[in-house]
Amino acid sequence: MMRRLAALVSTLLLATATFAEVATPDASAGRTTFEAFCVNCHGPLGQGDGPAGRAVLPVPRDFTVGQFKFDADGDGHTGTDDDLFLVIRDGAGPAGGNPLMAAWGHLGDEQVRVLVAYVRSLEGAKAD
């Protein structure tokens, strides 16, 4: 009986793990975090048209264009994954930008990575 139960439990765990992998690729996991912390300025599609975003200068980037400004790691290329990671983790201030783009490092590196993936996934996005 216990053995059968153990087998059942491990099958269920396996099924859940597989489902989670399929259902939450990086970018869609980032969506929840983005909607919680970023849309206010960046807008639902990251076009820089959130209610607070319209009030700040320089305005937040339009992520659907997929062009980024900062070379936060100083390697001579702007908008690499590393640059986006650093700007989100440490804020735009240290990269020479608007300090209103605050640091989000307290969310943890994993969340910051997921946000980078989500921001990238907005390139080419269109409003429904």
What are the residues binding ligand HEC (CB under 6 A)?
Answer: 37-38, 40-42, 52, 56, 58, 60-61, 68-70, 79, 83-84, 87-88, 92, 97-98, 100-101, 104, 115, 119
Q: Which amino acid is present at 72?
A: A
- In the complex, what is the shortest distance from the CB of residue 24 to ligand HEC, in angstroms, rounded to a whole number? 18
- In the complex, what is the shortest distance from the CB of residue 119 to ligand HEC, in angstroms, rounded to a whole number? 5
Q: Report the alpha-carbon distance of residue 59 to residue 7 in Å, rounded.
A: 55
- In the complex, what is the shortest distance from the CB of residue 13 to ligand HEC, in angstroms, rounded to a whole number? 32
Q: Report the alpha-carbon distance of residue 32 to residue 37 in Å, rounded.
A: 9
Count the neighbouring beta carbons within 10 Å of the beta carbon of residue 115: 25
